[in-house]
Every structure is written in C-alpha cells, then in structure tokens.
Amino acid sequence: MTAPEDVPVHRALVREAGKVRLRPRPTPRPSPGELLVTTPVAGLCGTDIQMLRGLRDDPAPVIGHEGVARVVATGPGVPGSLAPGTPVVVNPTHRDDPSFLLGHNVDGLLQEFTLIPATAVRDGLVVPLEQVPDAELGTLVEPLAAVRYALGLLATAGPRTLVVYGDGNIGQLAVRAAHGLLGADVRVLLVHHTPEGRRWSDRHPVPGTEPVGGTAQDGPPPLGDGPTAALLATPRDGTLDALAAALRLGGGDLTVDLFGGLPPGAACDLLPGIDLAAVRAANCAGHPVPAVFTETTTAEGRRVRLTGHRGVGNGHLLKAAAELCRHPALYRDLVTHVVEPAEAARIMNGLSAGRRRNVDGNRLLKLAVRFTPAPASPRERW
C-alpha cells in the first residue's frame, strides 16, 4: 500500500491473503470525537491466534487489543482528560455498540498509530491511567482485567478450592491473581493440557499453586468438601472438554466460569437445555451488578452454578494496571517474547500454521511487539 508523499504513514502488521505482513499504512487524522493513539508495545492474545488460524472470522486487517497507549492527537470535541500525551488503556468491548470491538471488527493496536472511533471515545472506553505499568507489562493489563472479572464472579461462592483449566497466558494469570482476590488460604490447582505447558509451569512455579496434568497424571487430586470454583481458561475449541471435566470434579458446591470462548452452537450433554453462549454473554463489560448466574442440575444429578462474561469494565482495567504496578515481578515472566514488528510477522505466520505454541524453542505465553521508539507525531506532517 502506498500513500501520497504529503500523507504520513506508519508501520502496521496487516492480515492479507492468509498471511501477516508488515506494511506502511496512511495515518488517519482524527475527525470530530475521534482520537489517535500510539502503543509502544502491543500484545498478541489467544483470541488473536485463533483469528490467525481461521477459527474466528473477525474482519479487522489489523488485530490486537492489548497494551498501554498514549494519546497523540484528538479531533474536535474530545474531552480534555484525553489530551495528547495522556497514557490510556482502550477497553476493547463496547457493551451497547457492536460496531466497536477493537482488533476484531475495528483495526487494533498492532500498528504504530491506531484511530479510536467516536463511539468508543464518547462512551468512555478510552481510560486514562494514573498508575502506569511499564510498556511490556502493559500488554497484560486487559487479560489480567478479564481474569480479575472472572475471579470476582467466582468469589461470590466463597470457594475453598479453585481449579483453573488451561496452561496458557490466562491460566497463568489466574493462578497468580487468585490468592489476592479469593484469599490466601484458598487451594489453587492449575490443570495443564499439554506436556509443554506443564514443563513451563514446573520451571516457573507460583507459590500456593499445585500443577496438575500434562504428564502421566489423569486429573486433579481429590478435593475437599468445601465450595469449589472452576475457571475454564481454554481456547474455544477446548472449552467443552474442560467444562465436562469440571462438572465431574469432586468437592462441595460447584461454580463454573465459562471464561474461554465457545464454538457456534456449543452444547454440553451434562447440561441439557442450557444455552452456554447465553450464560457467558449474560455479563458484559462489568454489567449487570449484581452479576448473572445460572443455577441448574447436571444430567448426573449435581447442582451447579454457571457464569461467564464478555469484555471487562473500566474498573477492572484500572485495578489490573494498579496490580501490575504493585507486583511486577509476579507477572513479568508471562511476557515470554518481546520482538520488533518484522520478527512479529514471522512469528504470527508460524502460529497460524499449526497448534504448537513454541517459538524458537521457547513456549510462547505472551508475544509483545515493540513499536518504539515511536515516530514523531503525524500532526507535524498533516
């Protein structure tokens, strides 16, 4: 793609013809109500990888919704709290306007400059930060906010045991955040689905977390009689298997959070008549308060509470940023790969070609793409 010489351009990781390519793109000037941000380091998440692999049909050529950004230009009518230079995080999910889903149907942050539409600015989805984690940890703000949302829902059950299914970035974030939100005496188990994930956990132990599976072990050890919570931190094609395993857990009263995505028409034989997608979508972006739970009985006669959520609330984002500022060492090892944009394109194309998550011999949990030093503001050329 080319642009006239008098139009500023920037680098972007663009999906085209089944590949990710580093391309120059014209840098837009914000119209009324819009703003332009730059993201020094942007993250690639599990949902992004699903898009690269064709498991989702989201149309945005530029994906990515993770990272702490900085406002570089504003259109008329943007509030003064979002003046150029302000560090912000963009809430990617609009609760009421389906036309805005950052990095899914609107171009995302895996580029030097991103235009944020007026609907997101007007409705408060660009959130100024007072506590700002460093740029690499900034890629964890949104996923940690989502984890905090899920753990907050599960906390209402007063669990004595938390079982986390999934050994990717979300599962690892969950076991690191669990004791801070559920209490220091809650038993935490992390159920692995790959040997590679188990080996990574063994090399990066989290105090108070019991790693399970991924080896010859068949499942979690026996649970006590107290309330049990399960968080399904799985890709959408693994959620139903994790749900079936969770519904057969021992222990007392069971609450399950359907954190992972769901394939179209997803159903579980153990939960006849339950619309799982509706359960997950009942809570969105922090609403309603109190949150919605579905109480039912499994086909095997066990009572269970089901919940889930889409997106996060602004409060979740602010608390996640503060948590990363307070305890950076607890989370830093999760940013496993920090690369320049050209290298990111190579890695993203490799991830799209198969299911393995190893990159150059190391397990990938969070890919952080460094666009710094950011170019001068495009306003100098407009």
- Reported as a pLDDT band with limits 50, 70 and 90, residue 374 is low
Nearest to 197 by CA among 17, 369, 355: 355
pLDDT of 152 over the 70 cut:
yes
Over residues 175-234, the pLDDT tens digits come to 999 999 999 999 999 999 889 999 999 999 999 999 998 765 555 677 888 999 999 999
In this predicted structure, what is the pLDDT of residue 373? 60
For residue 276, the domain's CATH number is: 3.40.50.720
pLDDT of 66 over the 90 cut:
yes
pLDDT of 368 over the 90 cut:
yes
Q: What mean pLDDT is predicted for residues 96-124?
A: 97
Over residues 23-51, the pLDDT tens digits come to 999 999 999 999 999 999 999 999 999 89
Residue-range definition of the domain harbouring residue 179: 142-307
Are residues 213 and 104 located together in one domain of the fold? no
Quote the number of domains for the chain: 2
For residue 17, the domain's CATH number is: 3.90.180.10
Are residues 146 and 288 located together in one domain of the fold? yes
Are residues 155 and 282 located together in one domain of the fold? yes
Classify residue 315: in a domain, yes or no.
no
Are residues 110 and 238 located together in one domain of the fold? no
Q: HEC states along 59-108?
A: CCCCCCCECCEEEEEECCCCCHHHCCCCEEEECCECCCCCCCEECCCECC
In this predicted structure, what is the pLDDT of residue 262? 86
Percent of the chain past pLDDT 70, that is, above it, reads 95
Percent of the chain past pLDDT 90, that is, above it, reads 84
Over residues 257-272, the pLDDT tens digits come to 999 888 778 999 999 9
In this predicted structure, what is the pLDDT of residue 5? 57
Over residues 285-339, the pLDDT tens digits come to 999 999 999 999 999 999 999 999 999 999 999 999 999 999 999 999 999 999 9
Over residues 170-181, the pLDDT tens digits come to 999 999 999 999
In this predicted structure, what is the pLDDT of residue 86? 98
**Whole-prediction pTM:** 0.95
Nearest to 305 by CA among 199, 245, 230: 230
Are residues 341 and 292 located together in one domain of the fold? no
Are residues 184 and 302 located together in one domain of the fold? yes
Nearest to 306 by CA among 328, 275, 345, 285: 275
Are residues 57 and 181 located together in one domain of the fold? no
pLDDT of 137 over the 70 cut:
yes
pLDDT of 2 over the 50 cut:
no
Classify residue 318: in a domain, yes or no.
no
Q: What is the mean pLDDT of the chain?
A: 93
- Reported as a pLDDT band with limits 50, 70 and 90, residue 1 is very low
- Reported as a pLDDT band with limits 50, 70 and 90, residue 280 is very high
Classify residue 184: in a domain, yes or no.
yes
In this predicted structure, what is the pLDDT of residue 377? 72
Classify residue 177: in a domain, yes or no.
yes
| The two three-digit tokens of residue 159, written as one number | 């669990």
Classify residue 319: in a domain, yes or no.
no
